[in-house]
Amino acid sequence: MKHIFLNLKRFDIPKTEGGVNAIAPAAEWGSFIVKGTQDGIRKIAEAAGTDTEFVMYLPEAHLIPAVLAKTADSLVKIGCQSVYRDDAAPGHNFGAFTSNRTAKAVRALGCESVLIGHCEERNDKAGILKEAGVTDTAAVNRLLNQEVKRAVEAGLSVLYCIGEKAEEQDRWQEVLREQIETGLDGVDRSSVVIAYEPVWAIGPGKTPPDGAYIKMIADYVKEVSGGMDVVYGGGLKQDNAKMLAEIPSIDGGLIALTRFSGEIGFYPEEYLEIAGLYLGIEQ
């Protein structure tokens, strides 16, 4: 199976407020994206003839309008951006989770998937642990492991992100192995796809890894994980879609921004172009 994931981060913030949203009012943003892509996704999937999963991860406020915008035959799956490490259960805590979104809560809203372990989430958790005086580098992975378990228990599929920072490149194998083995310990891996993020290469002015490097990482991740599906999480774009499609051990990609110059932001028609390029569809 191939996977096209979309992480919309906080792309709903208007440009006047420092964000990148120029496509729709905030209240209509989630539904606008689904309505603007689901017909195109169906056409791409039919033309590709390949079993492909299309998942969109949205900020929580946009989940309900996005789910409601789906047509009966839509191939779009709606997902959220991480979940809390605990959840409600019969005879257990039934809702004392103020400020935290639980897996069962988002599943009830219509979500089918969740993004866990994105480098931005990892940085946030590491910062909190540092303030608490925790120096154990595996602590973040243990917390993420709890999130993955709650997600799978709630019936959500998981896109689990891993990746090494610049200061970790000389020991990338050790870092990725710990993220996989600790983060997915005791997890039903049939519900999980791994996204590789080259954290050291993400950001303005940085050079992305070439195909050989990505293949090396993907081959290693498959070896350590027991053959799990691996997608490129460093940004599936117009200029790397065909290259990534030629790497046998890469099973898809994660799209974020679609335009990196001029009117920077996410644009549905460009998302469809990227998905088509990766799946070999001329548009």
What averages of pLDDT result for each successive group of 10 residues across the chain (283 residues)?
A: 97 96 96 98 96 97 98 98 96 92 98 98 97 94 98 98 97 98 98 98 89 98 98 97 98 97 95 98 74
| Domains defined for the chain, CATH in brackets | 1-81+235-283 (no CATH), 83-193+200-228 (3.20.20.70)
What is the pLDDT, as a whole number, of residue 235?
95
Examine the residue annotation and report whether 28 is marked as an active-site residue of this protein.
Answer: no
- pTM metric for this prediction: 0.97
What is the pLDDT, as a whole number, of residue 176?
98
What is the pLDDT, as a whole number, of residue 73?
96
What is the pLDDT, as a whole number, of residue 92?
85
Examine the residue annotation and report whether 62 is marked as an active-site residue of this protein.
Answer: no
197 Cβ contact list (under 8 Å, min separation 6): 118, 119, 161, 162, 163, 233, 234
The answer to whether 34 touches 74, Cβ cutoff 8 Å, is yes
Catalytic residue among 118, 121, 147, 273: 118
The answer to whether 78 touches 62, Cβ cutoff 8 Å, is no
What is the pLDDT, as a whole number, of residue 237?
97
What is the pLDDT, as a whole number, of residue 283?
61
Alpha-carbon span 134 to 279, nearest angstrom: 44
The answer to whether 83 touches 101, Cβ cutoff 8 Å, is yes
Catalytic residue among 147, 164, 197, 273: 197
At 220 the three-state DSSP class reads helix
